Every structure is written in structure tokens, then in C-alpha cells.
Amino acid sequence: MKLLRPVPDTPGAQLELPLAESSAAAAESPKDAALLAPPGETLSPEILAWPPAQPNARALHVGERTLHYTLKRSSRRTIGFTVDDRGLSITAPRWVTLADVEAAILEKQRWIFNKLGEWRHREARRVLPTVQWREGASLPFLGKPITLQLESPAGALLFDADTRVLHLALPTHADEQQIKDRVQGWLQHQARRLLVERLEIYADKLGVRHTGFALTSAATRWGSCTADGKIRLNWRLMHFPLSMIDYVAAHELAHLKEMNHGPRFWETVESIFPEFRDARAQLRAHPPELLPTF
């Protein structure tokens, strides 16, 4: 089944265009309309030329600008568009003419431009937050910053919820790797406790039971649910507010009833987590590369 991801579609946004689809119908489809750039936001000309040319590169003039893309031929029956860190890639049947490919590009230009813009902005935000793993360092925990302190008055790892200080019980000469490992271990311990608790709450609301639970460190997915009911959740969710964690828990549990992302699936999510739209939007705005690095 499709896994929940921290970005709108897949790590590379994809779109297929059936060759029998009419231009007029496609241009007016709700799917395309939802993919338009936000009101008031325009794409700069350099977006169309990003990134540098790849093998099998081609170019097409779109209005006054030039759109660069790569074209690959295959035995597929549809024209496929993929936008990722390499720019626009197109896969087309071997028998489709170049003129047909270019016509398809023009037909889907709004979707293409929107996705190119998303990746451009994503790249611009890719500068990772740097945590200096030392006394006084700060990082997010359940949506709010906590401060690291090496020594502990109790002589053991301790989190003071009132002062939001995590006492690591490490010597003052501890190196960065020791501090990082201690913090990651604590976060994962908290995740095992809290994520199981949130799953139980929403499983009761939905009247379902999952067959297993495990933490994951996936780079591009917040959670997953298998057909036999096993759920995996990303421990990095512990950086986020509880509402975002609850959304992921409700999302994966809903797959126990609807193993898809169709209308009935989202109705199921809404039945146990009515505010899911806001939480989903917040999660999409926080891809893993914007979190502290471990």
C-alpha cells in the first residue's frame, strides 16, 4: 500500500497522462486545479531552467521562457511526468512523436510549473538546522524547545517538564557523539511510550486493533501500515506538537479499514480526528530535512 510521506506525493512528484485524454478535460480537472501555484505566487524564469541539463536533455519554449526536461522512451502506454531534484523527466511510449510529447507538456504545464516551484523552494530551505551537541544546546520536543544539560542533579537521565531541561547525566568532558547518542536514545524511548499510547487512543475510537508496532527512522516517511495490520511510526515525530503526532496515528489506523487514499479513507480519518486537515498541512510543511540532524 502507499505509505504516508512528509511531502505531498512521492519524493518525486509524478503524473501520468493517458494518451486518449482530451486537453480540454484535463485542463479543467479538479486534480490539476488543486496543483496550481498559490494565489499571488509566481514562478521565476530560472525555475524553468533548474536544475542543470541531464543526459537526453531537451528544451521547449513555453511562452517567453524555456522549459528544460529529459525524455526517456519505454514500452509504457502513457506519458509519465516526474519532477524531482533532477528537474522534469518524461517517459513516453516509443511510438509517440516528439510533437505529441510537447503537446502533452503544454497541456500539463500548470502541474509541471507548480511542482518545479515546490522543488525549487524545497532546495532553498534545505539548509539543515545545526544543533551544537554541547551544554545549553536546544532542540524541539513535542513542538517546543528543550535545553540540554550535561550533568544531572539526580545522577541519572532526567527531563524536567517545568523548566524544559533534559539532564543527560554525562560528564562535562563528554564529546558530541556521546551527547547526540544519549539524546537520540531518550527521544526514541519517549517515542515508544507516547506513540503506542496515541495509537491505542485512536484505535479505540475507530474500533480497530493493529497487530504490531515498531519505530522507524525512514528518511521520507512518517508512518506506514501493512495489509496484515503492522504499523510503523517515525520516532522523529517526537519533535512535533501532539496534534501532528495524532494525525499520523489516526492516518495509519484508518488504513486498517481503507487500504487506499480514496474519499472513504479520508472520511474514516475525519471520523476520529476531525481537525486532520490542519495537522496534515503542518506536517507537509515540515519535511525531515528541516529537523535537527542526528
The residue that leads in pLDDT, 282 or 13, is 282
Would you call 65 exposed, middle or buried from its count of C-beta atoms within 10 A (0-12, 13-18, 19+)? middle
Band of the pLDDT at 52, cuts 50, 70, 90?
very low
pLDDT in tens, 268-284: 999 999 999 999 988 88
Q: What is the pLDDT of residue 39?
A: 35
Q: What is the pLDDT of residue 169?
A: 94
CA distance linking residue 172 with residue 182, whole number of Å: 14
Is residue 130 over pLDDT 80? no
Q: What percent of the chain has pLDDT over 90?
A: 58
Q: Of 4-18, 25-39, 239-253, 278-292, which gets the smallest average pLDDT?
A: 25-39
Mean pLDDT of 264-268: 95
Q: Looking at residue 54, what is its pLDDT?
A: 55
* pLDDT-wise least confident of 16-25, 70-79, 111-120, 130-139: 16-25
- Taking residues 216-230, report their average pLDDT: 89
Residue 12 has pLDDT above 70, yes or no: no
Q: How confident is the model at residue 77 (pLDDT cuts 50, 70, 90)?
A: confident
Quote the pTM value: 0.60
Phi, psi of 210 (to 5 degrees): -90, 155
Q: What whole-number distance in Å separates Cα of residue 127 and Cα of residue 118?
A: 16
The pLDDT value given to residue 286: 80
Alpha carbon distance 287, 290 (integer Å): 6
- Amino acid making up residue 238: M
Q: Over 70: is that where the pLDDT of 16 sits?
A: no
Between these two residues, 293 and 142, which has the higher pLDDT value?
A: 142
Which one, of 84, 86, 79, lies nearest residue 106 by Cα? 79
Rounded percentage of the chain residues whose pLDDT exceeds 70: 78
The mean pLDDT of the chain is 81
Whether residue 98 contacts residue 86, with contact meaning beta carbons closer than 8 Å, is answered with no
Q: Assign a CATH topology to domain 176-290.
A: Zincin-like (3.30.2010)
Query: Contact, 255 vs 210, CB < 8 A?
Result: no
Q: What is the pLDDT of residues 38-50, one digit of tens each?
A: 333 344 444 344 4
Q: Any idea where the domains of the chain sit in the sequence?
A: 13-124, 176-290
Q: What is the pLDDT of residues 151-207, one digit of tens each?
A: 998 889 999 999 999 999 999 999 999 999 999 999 999 999 999 999 999 999 999
Phi/psi of residue 232, each to 5°? -125, 135
